[in-house]
A and B are shown apart, each in its own frame.
Chain A
Amino acid sequence: QQQVKQSPQSLIVQKGGISIINCAYENTAFDYFPWYQQFPGKGPALLIAIRPDVSEKKEGRFTISFNKSAKQFSLHIMDSQPGDSATYFCAARVDKGSARQLTFGSGTQLTVLP
């Protein structure tokens, strides 16, 4: 129940295209859904996050779409750039009692071709 399933495992997009990464979950106790970007040799960096009472959140070229009834959320990267090439992780948080933790998806390696 703590799992977060992420797809695809890898994604290749042309410069200027839209990158879409999907995640699904089962645990209804999750109350916060962040996305992280990780470059080789670096720790994950928070990109954007959403709470389940919101269906969409946009920050610059990054948008999270959230479907509470389907228990799915996705990251859209508009006008993808070569500098966006990195590994992206979705995550989901439980913030109650002994179950308090952040669970990560398996990651998506994004390559944006110039």
Chain B
Amino acid sequence: KAGVTQTPRYLIKTRGQQVTLSCSPISGHRSVSWYQQTPGQGLQFLFEYFSETQRNKGNFPGRFSGRQFSNSRSEMNVSTLELGDSALYLCASSPTGRIATEAFFGQGTRLTVV
């Protein structure tokens, strides 16, 4: 059974640009959540999707957005990138409708903003 796949693995962007990250959950998993990991702030919840609906969003500015498609794949978008957006972005999928139950994480996308 394939795990959670995140693409791309690494990304370098310039300040002011926008970026789109992709997450393919484990087959059959309908809940997908996103997290930002930095050395200073640790792991912080970005948002969670279930059946194409965003059920909650963490305390991040509106530049951070996401969506989920009918096949449960999810994307997150960051517009007008800032240096502080440099981080490891992780997505996790869960087999049930309950966020984080038996959640499996992908390897993440390492975003560097220069």
Residues of A within 8 A of B (CB): 32, 34, 36, 41-46, 49, 89, 91, 93, 95, 98-107
Inter-chain contact A101/B107, CB cutoff 8 Å = no
* Given known A-B contacts A43-B108, A44-B90, A95-B98, A104 and B42 have beta carbons under 8 A apart: yes
Choose from B33, B56, B107 the contact partner of A99 (Cβ within 8 Å). Answer: B56
Instruction: Provide 22 A-B residue pairs closer than 8 Å at the C-beta atoms, listed in order of the A residue.
Output: A32-B98, A34-B100, A42-B107, A43-B4, A43-B90, A43-B106, A46-B102, A46-B103, A46-B104, A89-B43, A91-B100, A95-B98, A95-B99, A101-B45, A101-B48, A102-B33, A102-B45, A103-B45, A104-B35, A105-B42, A106-B42, A107-B42
For A95, give the chain B residue with the smallest CB separation: B98
**A101/B106 contact (C-beta < 8 A), A44-B43, A89-B43 known:** no
Least Cβ–Cβ distance between A99 and chain B, in angstroms: 7
Inter-chain contact B107/A41, CB cutoff 8 Å: yes
**Residue pair A43, B107 in contact (C-beta under 8 Å):** yes
Cβ-defined contact, B105 with A102, below 8 A? no
A102-B99 CB under 8 A given contacts A44-B43, A44-B90? yes
Report Cα–Cα, A49/B92, bound state, in Å.
16
B71 on interface, CB distance cutoff 8 Å: no
From residue B13, how far is it (CB to closest CB) to chain A in Å? Answer: 20
Contact B105 A43, beta carbon cutoff 8 Å: yes
The B5-24 residues at the A interface (CB cut-off 8 A) are none
**Bound complex: CA of A89 vs CA of B102, how far in Å?**
15
Q: Mark B37-53, 1 if CB is under 8 A from A, else 0.
A: 00000111100100000
Contact A93 B100 (CB under 8 A): yes
CA distance A105 to B37 in the complex (A): 12
